[in-house]
Amino acid sequence: MKPVESMTGLKNDLGPGTVHFNLNADGVATLTLDRPHKLNALSLELLAMLEASLKEIEESDARVLVLRTTGDRAFCVGADIAQFSAFTPVQMWKTWIKEGHRIYRQLANLSQPTIAVIDGPALGGGLELALACDFRVAGPSASFGLPEVGIGTIPGWGGTERLTKLVGEGRAKHLILTGRRITSDTALAWGLVTETADADSLEESVHALVGDLLRGAPIAQQTAKQLIHAASQGADSALLEAIASGFTTATADFRTGMSSFQEKKPAVFTGR
């Protein structure tokens, strides 16, 4: 696999920020949202850059996506209030909310497993961004909140749905209706994050999770991810699992996996 590096956007001074994309030889894609002077607040321009990078990853040989942000003050504080506060109600309806939903859905539906690395506040649209990922690994300075009611609005990029699915209706109401923040330890206890780590072991934890994902068969992983999403929407799992099992057992990776299991050696999957 050929490593890929690209950068979409403007130089990160006082502009809308930049999205950096890297794909290494192991198939690990890294997306980094780079707007630290605005605490990685999300503008329409930055969302468009994210969308372009996600399309590139979907069409690549990437096995795993790791989503990061820059700076040491925040993971992402959500939507760029200076931008969206200037919108009319119709513009909010037609542009701001619709674009955020569409791009976050693109992230959630990405074929590859996705990991958000969170070390700092993840608030509003920043938390919704992390919720659109499959895994969330939180460092000691991470905190989580949907404070939109404090400015007279509501979470608008999927937070009410995705948070409720993860933590339940009562805890979702606790966060959304009060605007409170919770720590990474509370988020772990609630099931909001996948795992926590201290400052010295955060990268080690991310690396270990990536390693576990790389050891799986990519077609099986991506198929299973689609089945989980379908089940959460009420699909008939018995029917879909029967079809998907037939499909996956027809792959070269299945033959590799069975052979490696019988020979008691690690499998090397090719995604074929």
Catalytic machinery residues: 128, 148
Virtual torsion, Cα 2, 130, 153, 86, nearest 10 deg: -20
Name, in order, each residue with C-beta under 8 angstroms of 114's C-beta and a sequence gap of 6 or more: 64, 65, 66, 67, 107, 132, 133, 134, 135
SS3 content of the chain, % helix, strand, coil (to 5): 50, 20, 35
Q: Using CA atoms, how far apart are residues 179 and 104, in angstroms rounded to an integer?
A: 22
In the chain, beta strands by DSSP E: 4-9, 18-23, 28-34, 64-69, 114-118, 121-123, 135-138, 143-145, 181-183, 195-196
